[in-house]
Amino acid sequence: MLTETDELAAALKLAAERWPQDAGSGSKLLLRLVRAGEQALGQEREQTRARRREAVSRTRGQFRGIYEPGYLERLRDEWSA
């Protein structure tokens, strides 16, 4: 059970324009909106992952050789003190 707020009414109106065959059924329109939202979120997630993978690929090895050999071990030794 949902309360038809102004936002929900506007979304259902847009959905009825997009899927006129279901315009007479609020529940069908709502289900279509949920499915469309799920697809959009999935696409957004994949685009974000692709951008992150590209950034990692672009910067891979960029900082190689900045720290001299043994730097990490010396740093860790300081932490235990």
Q: Give the domain ranges of the chain.
A: 1-60
Q: What are the CB-based long-range contacts (under 8 Å, 24+) for 31-38?
A: none
% pLDDT > 90, the chain:
84
Which pTM value belongs to this model? Answer: 0.68
Which residue from 54, 12, 7, 50 is spatially nearest to 31, judged by alpha carbons?
Answer: 12
Report the C-alpha gap between 47 and 54 in whole angstroms. Answer: 10
pLDDT category of residue 2 using cuts at 50, 70 and 90: confident
- Indicate whether 22 pLDDT > 70: yes
**pLDDT score recorded for residue 81:** 57
